[in-house]
Amino acid sequence: MQNRLVRHIETLINRYPSLESCKNDIIKAYDILESCYESDHKLLIAGNGGSAADSEHIAGELMKRFKICRTVPAEFEERLISVDPERGKTLAHNLERGLMAIPLVAHEALSTAYINDVDGLGVFAQQLYGFGRPGDVFWGISTSGNSKNVMSATVVARALGIKVIGLTGANGGELASVADVAIRVPETETYMIQELHLPVYHCLCLMLEDRFFGDSD
């Protein structure tokens, strides 16, 4: 792993020493995400309650600038301007490259229709089946590790050949037993788990942004 990426993990551990126990799993999760994006695939994210908010937060950090400027390639800028000189120039200036991330908590019409018409516990599984393709990654967030709708989604993910990252509390729950890698932050109280989830996923988003949009060492 490149030195500049390691520095993000070192900063995380310095600020949150208790996360030292998660270091290797954070690196494994990063490797899975890096491979996903290197092959032009996407990340699908799900959770409930505060973890649903985290799902959207992660997508927000990946789909636009987090810290680094992500200007569009010159070739695409030229294509925009060739389509519409005025609007294209503005778009070329304002658009930012993204890493495709879809929060499965964000589609209210689809979600509520499926919950009402079919099965509430399959709400994430249905979306994963519709959006997911082999090579994608599913990131399930559950403080207990036992969220039933997240676990249903992991079954679909594994059947489709989609790797699973789990972000849980110390116990890990069922999610930790089926995930390709589970980051189990060392807390058992829900709110304390959530307080450690944020710096973990911020670190991963920073690493990915640095890898795909940062300067080379």
pTM of the complete model: 0.94
Nearest to 164 by CA among 92, 172, 86: 172
Architecture field, domain 3-68+99-213:
3-Layer(aba) Sandwich (3.40)
CA distance 138 to 179: 9
Q: What are phi and psi of 165, to 5 degrees?
A: -110, 130
What is the full DSSP assignment across 1-63? --HHHHHHHHHHHHH-GGGGGGHHHHHHHHHHHHHHHHTT--EEEE-STHHHHHHHHHHHHHH
Nearest to 103 by CA among 65, 181, 48: 48
Say what angle helices 74-83 and 85-94 make with each other, to 10 degrees: 150
pLDDT per residue, tens digit, the chain (217 aa), is 677 789 999 999 999 999 999 999 999 999 999 999 999 999 999 999 999 999 999 999 999 999 999 999 999 999 999 999 999 999 999 999 999 999 999 999 999 999 999 999 999 999 999 999 999 999 999 999 999 999 999 999 999 999 999 999 999 999 999 999 999 999 999 999 999 999 999 999 999 999 999 986 5
From the CA atom positions of the chain, what is the Rg in Å? Answer: 18
